[in-house]
Amino acid sequence: MLNFSIARLPRIEFGTGVIKKLPDIITGYGPNILLVTGARSFLSTRHGQSFLDQLKQRAITLQHCMIAEEPSPALIDDLVKTFANETFDAVIGIGGGSALDAAKAVAGLIKIQRSVMDYLEGVGPELPYHGPTIPFIAVPTTAGTGSEATKNAVLSVQGENGFKKSFRHDKLVAEYAIVDPDLLASCPPSVIAANGMDALTQLLESYVSIKSNAFTDALSISGLQAMHDALIPLYHQQGELAQHREKMAYAALLSGITLAQVGLGSVHGLASPLGAFYPIPHGVVCGTLVASATRINIQSLLTREPTNKALAKYLHVAEILCQKRFIDPQAAYNTLIDLLAQWTNELTLPRLSHYGLQETALDKVIANCRGSSMKTNPIVLTDEEIRRILLERL
C-alpha cells in the first residue's frame, strides 16, 4: 500500500537568510550568469543590492531580463533569440511564478534554439524534449505557485483564442531551490491573498488527487497545517510576521512538490481556460473557486462514489483547517466549505464576472477545462457539475 515513485526534485535550501548562500552557489557554476526577475524587481531591495555586491566581488558577469507579466511563448522565443550567441553557466530565476517559469523555459531552450511551441503540451507538435539545458536556480519571492519545485514552465496566450499550457520535462527542474521567507516581506496583501490561496488549493487538490500517495499526503497535511496558521494573519499583518512568512513559504514549497508528483484537480483544470480567455490572475481563480469546487466534488462523491477515499481526506482537511474534531462527516464537509468561502471573502478575492466572464461563455470554458489537472480530480465531473462550480462564483 506504500508503493510510490517520486520524480526529480531540486536541492532545497530553506530558511530565513539562506539567500546569502546564493552567490557562493552561483560561483560553483561559473562566471557568466543570466538573471531573470519579475517586474517588482528583487534587485531594488536590500537583499538585491547585497546580492549584486557579492557577485561583483566574485567577478561574475551578469545579464538581466525582467518579466513584467505572465510569460507567453512569443516572449520566451524572443529571449532565446536574444541570448542565442551567449554562453551562460547558469540561469537564475528570482521572483514570482512568472519569473521562475520564464527562467525555467529559457534555460531549457537557449542551447537548442528551437521554439517553445515545439514542446508545449496540447497546442503544437509536442516533440520529445531531450535538452541540453543550462543549470537553473530558482529563488521564489512569493509564496504561491511552488514553481521552484516543479518541472513545468507555464506559458499563456490571452484572448478569445488563447491558451495556458506547460512546457514540462524532468530536465527543467531547478538544480537548487533557494527559499528564503524574508523575501516575502515586500509582498502586498493582494499578492499574499492570491498566492496563498493558490498554494492552499494546490495542497488540497494534490491531497485528494487520484495519484496521491503516503509520501505526498504527509507533505500536503504539513503544508495545510502551516497554511491554517499563517495565511489570514499574514494577510492582515498581525502577530509574528517572520513566523507567518516562514510558514507560508514552507506551505508553498510543499504545494509545488506535491503537485509535481501527483497532479491537481478541478480548480486548476478550470484555471487554464479562465486564465487564457480572461485577464484573471491565476491565484484569484484558485481562491475564488476552491470553495465551490470542493462543494461540488464532495456532493458528487457522496452521490456516485460514496466509498471513495477522498471523502475521508476531505474530513481530515476539515479537521486541520477548522481545528476541530468531527463525529459527523457531513458537518465536517459543511464546515470546511464554509471556511474556504469565508477565506475567499476575507481576502477580498473578486468574482469571475469582475474580469468579464458571462454565463453565455461558460460552454467554451467547460469545453477547454479537461486537461491534465482535471484528470487527477478525485471524481470525473460532468459538464453540468463543472458549470455549477462556475455559476457559484460568477
Tens of pLDDT, residues 315-347: 999 999 999 999 999 999 999 999 999 999 999
User: Is the pLDDT reported for residue 270 higher than 80?
Assistant: yes
- How far is residue 33 CA from its own chain's centroid? 25
Instruction: Provide CB contacts within 8 A for 124, sequence distance 6+.
Output: 117, 118
- Is 138 within 8 Å of 176 (Cβ atoms)? yes
User: Is the pLDDT reported for residue 141 higher than 90?
Assistant: yes
Within 10 A of 17 (CB to CB), how many other CB atoms are there?
10
Distance, first Cα to last Cα, the chain: 41
Looking at residue 46, its pLDDT comes to: 84
Residue from 161, 155, 157 nearest 109 by CA: 155
Q: How many CA atoms lie within 13 A of 112 on its CB side?
A: 17
pLDDT digits 0-9 by tens, 230-262 = 999 999 999 999 999 999 999 999 999 999 999
pTM of the model: 0.95
Residue from 174, 175, 90, 98 nearest 141 by CA: 98
Going from the N-terminus, what domains does the chain have, and what CATH number goes with each? Answer: 11-184 (3.40.50.1970), 189-392 (1.20.1090.10)
- Say how many residues make up the chain: 394
Looking at residue 42, its pLDDT comes to: 81
What are 35's strand-pairing partners? 64, 92
pLDDT digits 0-9 by tens, 129-138 = 999 999 999 9
Instruction: Provide CB contacts within 8 A for 303, sequence distance 6+.
Output: none
